[in-house]
Structure 1
Amino acid sequence: MNIYFAGPMFAKADLLYNEYLVGKIREIDSSISVYLPQENGAINDKTAYADSQMIALADTERVLNSDLLVAVLDGAVIDSGVASEIGIAYAKGIPIIGLYTDTRQQGADNQKKLDALNDTAENQFHYLNLYTVGLVKLNGTIVNTDEDFLSLIKQATLEKN
């Protein structure tokens, strides 16, 4: 199974989290091949040069050759590259699993948090772009824990084999 891993990759924390998750995915089954863009030095060695077309062509080819796209949706907003990769996967019918771990989603049954939605600038929850979320949900699912994320990837691998 070929998996494309879409995730933010410009902060050290992002790079480490991506490496951690991809390591866990690779442990699931030796037949899994994971493309992690940050590992592609030809386009993502930030001390070297790659222009926009080189990056677009390299990553798009990998998305199109994947059986599954997995995406980290965390951050102040969904990373723009991740959103683009999701759009390509959706357009080509490639299944998508999104991981959204933002802790502000907790307490959805807390009445004070719900009431705060009516008070300007007091939203206690985080907002994700609904267009991008919709593309993921139309062709897959979104989970909020690493464990569920890895379990769904394992399930998809078993179904593919």
Structure 2
Amino acid sequence: MTTSKHIYFAAPLFAQSDLFYNQHLVEKIRKIDTELTVYLPQENAGINDKTAYADSKMIALADTDEVLKSDLMIALLDGLTIDAGVASEIGVAYAKGIPVIALYTDSRQQGADNLKKLKALQTPAENQFHYLNLYTVGLIKLNGSIVSTEDALLEQIKLFLEGSDLHDL
């Protein structure tokens, strides 16, 4: 499959664990098709070498330019909240009609049919589930999809590259 598609990979990149996971997942995405270009911001030393200097405008211009060149955005939603930079990048993608496939692996989303967990929602401070900002989630769902596993993410990328509409997946 020759695609010549450009993917923007939006993810937190400040902890060593983030950097390793991002690289791990991008390597899997790049193996889908050798013609695929994946922009991983942490690989852009011009703005993300934290021993050097890049001001806010340099970072905003560089990453926004890459978002706007993209045919698809992959966004990682895991963490205490959706990373602020990721949320901003999702907003740019939505405004420009660039589809987003988001990965949300938080284990607290499991058990949605567990009656004890559901009943606990009636007790203050006993929410057994994780909350994501619904505005950002809505922007993704209006122009893409959210999956909960790496395999589902890779499958949706393949389907997108084959021409499938993310709204139908």
Q: Which residue of 1 aligns with 2:62?
A: 58
Q: Deviation at 1:155?
A: 1.1
Tell me how many residue pairs correspond in the alignment: 160
Q: Which residue of 1 aligns with 2:15?
A: 11
Q: Deviation at 1:33?
A: 0.1
> Residues of 1 paired with 2:30 and 2:161: CA distance?
11
For 1:8-157, what aligned pairs fall within 5 Å after superposition?
8-157=12-161
> Residues of 2 paired with 1:17 and 1:158: CA distance?
26
Stretches of structure 1 lacking an aligned partner (at least 5 in a row): none
Secondary structure in 2 matching 1:154: helix
Q: Deviation at 1:9?
A: 0.5
Considering Cα pairs closer than 8 Å and 6+ residues apart, tell me whether 1 or 2 has the greater RCO: 1
Q: Deviation at 1:60?
A: 0.2
Secondary structure in 2 matching 1:88: helix
Contact 1:32 1:157 in 2 (8 A): no
> Residues of 2 paired with 1:117 and 1:131: CA distance?
21
Pairwise CA RMSD of aligned residues?
0.8
> Residues of 2 paired with 1:10 and 1:116: CA distance?
34
> Structure 1-normalised TM-score?
0.98
> Structure 2-normalised TM-score?
0.93
Secondary structure in 2 matching 1:28: coil
Q: Deviation at 1:123?
A: 0.1
Can you list the C-alpha shifts for 1:3-31, whole angstroms capped at 9, x where unaligned?
00000111111111100110000000011
Stretches of structure 2 lacking an aligned partner (at least 5 in a row): 165-169
Corresponding letter in the other structure for 1:32: L
Give structure 1 regions of 4+ aligned residues with deviation exceeding 3 angstroms.
none
Identity of aligned residues (%): 68
1:2 equivalent in alignment to 2:6: yes
